[in-house]
A and B are shown apart, each in its own frame.
Chain A
Amino acid sequence: MASLYNAWGPILDLYLLQLGFAFSQYLVLRAGVFSLATAALAAIGAYTAGILAVKHGVHPALGILAGTGMGTAAALVLSWPLARLRGVYQAIATLAFVQIVLSLNIWAEGLTGGAMGLMNIPRVVGTPGLLAAAVAVTYIIWAIGRTRIGRTFDVIRENEAVAVSLGVSVPRWQALAFALSGAIAGLFGALEAFHSYALDPNIFGFSFLIATLSYVVFGGRKSVLGPLVGTAVLILLPELARPLAENRVLVYGLLLILVINFLPRGVADTLLDAWHRRRLARRSAAAAEALR
């Protein structure tokens, strides 16, 4: 058991952290916002927690709380100009935001450690902490999906004009999705800081953004299972086929092309739909049988 954990523990930790970022990305996509800001919001959460711990000796629990809060606040501020944009323009604007945060991070060397990174962050978060956070966030997102909030997000994503005619204030609901997404990104950013001893601005760069987006596109944007499955597959695959691990981004790219072409709704959503339809077909066949 111990050796199993030694071999797979780091991968489990990686999975749990990435799952958090995947859920942050999933929430905005679900509400119809094409935002790529998760990378920047995670960086803000991570550096808030890291700087407070290293430079001011703040207790990690408070640091995690502050990271979550800063992620939320940054997302709320960002949601305001973003409400005026749609689709690919939102993607471009948030991509610029990621680059701005990255540049500021490198520029503000005195505060963030610049390109050298921020060292000596206490390693106080282990697998149990990550697991607790991942379970909590999964539960919260699952619960949101079953309430009016989740349904309203779906309506905005599928048809904004009808959402408006149903009295849905699109900017306000998208700001809510953004705030939740920012809170999750900030939380997992802070957890990453307390899990990894050092932070480096490039962790939260372009490849982070592509990976996070891939988890959701690969798994699916509708059901909660999407990010769970997408993150698992994309993290396990390079590990199982070790030679591929060096070319992780290349593998992601290939898989994405395949999924977008053949399973455009993502692996989990497609399978769930197929299962749902088979159940419906069986039920109506049974009803027809009963009528005979």
Chain B
Amino acid sequence: MLEVQDLAVSYRGIRALRGVSLNVAAGETVALIGPNGAGKSSLLNAISGLVAKAGGRVAFDGADITRASPWSVAARGLLQVPEGRQVFPGMSVQENLLLGTTALGARPATWGLDEVFAIFPILRERRAQLAGSLSGGQQQMLAIGRALMGGPRLLLLDEPSLGLAPLIVRQVFRALAGLKATGLTILLVEQNARQALAVSDRALVLEQGRIVRQGASADLAHDPAIIASYLGQDEAHAGGG
């Protein structure tokens, strides 16, 4: 569904991505893990067109979107949930969700309010409340719900666990597992490697702008090198960022 070939991104001469290639097939959940500054967010932003590409090619559903504007990429159903939640604090929960339908364009909706509320019941309770009054985890759920209202064919998630307490991180990931079960295709960027590997089918490890490892998530979770660098030995750190 998504094909990325040899993608490069530079910020004023500093290379953030050095030729990254990856594929995401329909119905798959792929996780992208790696340390701070590895280029994970740059990769997502380059795919969605928010950041200019220095080289390479991106195709979505067979169509070349390398030079497409970010809004036209969104209109095709390649929807990104931006890092740091970014809900509209002065609007109600329901208004935020309805805003998501802007991305539909001429495509039919695949998620309605009721389906979103079924995945995130807390949003139904808070539907009339201002989004700014929600907790961080609830805002993250709202941001994901808003993207669902835009009928995503591929959902890009940028650090959904960022700044959340361990208990809330588990709630968010439980919801992601629910989304995956609906057959939604997901590309997930995450520093919380343990949770990311648990929810995904495949994973890629990005370091210094290059993919250094990839494989089935279950295999990577037992790989000694990955355990040493990203998971640690101690189960007690499970929720940490």
Contact = CB atoms under 8 A, between A and B. Distances in A.
A279 interface: no
Interface in A132-184: 148, 151-152, 154-155, 158-159, 161-162, 164-170
Interface string A68-111: 00000000000000000000000000000000000000000000
Given A152-B102, A162-B86, A169 B69 contact: yes
B240 to A, nearest CB: 28
A169 B71 contact: yes
A1 to B, nearest CB: 44
B90 A165 contact: no
Consensus secondary structure, chain A interface: helix
Range, interface on chain B? 20 to 34
Contact of A164 (B71, B81, B91, B104): B71
Contacts, number: 55
Contact of A166 (B90, B95, B100): B100
A164 B95 CA distance: 17
Nearest to B90: A158
Interface stretch (B31-39, B72-80, B174-182): B72-80
B100 to A, nearest CB: 7
A51 to B, nearest CB: 40
B80 A168 contact: no
Contact of B74 (A148, A151, A152, A165): A165
Contacts of B150: 166-167
Nearest to B69: A169
Interface in B114-157: 146-147, 150
Contacts of A159: 86, 88
Range, interface on chain A? 10 to 19
B183 interface: no
Nearest to B107: A167
B25 interface: no
A154 B91 CA distance: 10
B102 A165 contact: no
Interface string B81-118: 11000101011000100011011110000000000000
Contacts of A154: 88, 91
> Which one of A151, A159, A161, A165 has the highest number of Cβ atoms from chain B below 10 Å of its Cβ?
A165
B217 to A, nearest CB: 26
> Which one of A159, A161, A162, A167 has the highest number of Cβ atoms from chain B below 10 Å of its Cβ?
A167
Interface of A: 148, 151-152, 154-155, 158-159, 161-162, 164-170
Interface of B: 48, 50, 69-72, 74-75, 79-82, 86, 88, 90-91, 95, 99-100, 102-105, 146-147, 150
Given A154-B88, A155-B88, A166-B102, 20 more contacts: A151-B95, A158-B88, A159-B88, A161-B50, A161-B82, A164-B50, A164-B71, A164-B74, A165-B48, A165-B82, A165-B147, A166-B103, A166-B146, A166-B150, A167-B71, A167-B74, A167-B75, A167-B104, A169-B72, A170-B71
21 contacts: A152-B102, A154-B88, A155-B99, A161-B50, A162-B82, A162-B86, A164-B71, A165-B48, A165-B50, A165-B70, A165-B79, A165-B80, A165-B81, A165-B103, A166-B99, A166-B100, A166-B150, A167-B103, A167-B104, A167-B105, A169-B69
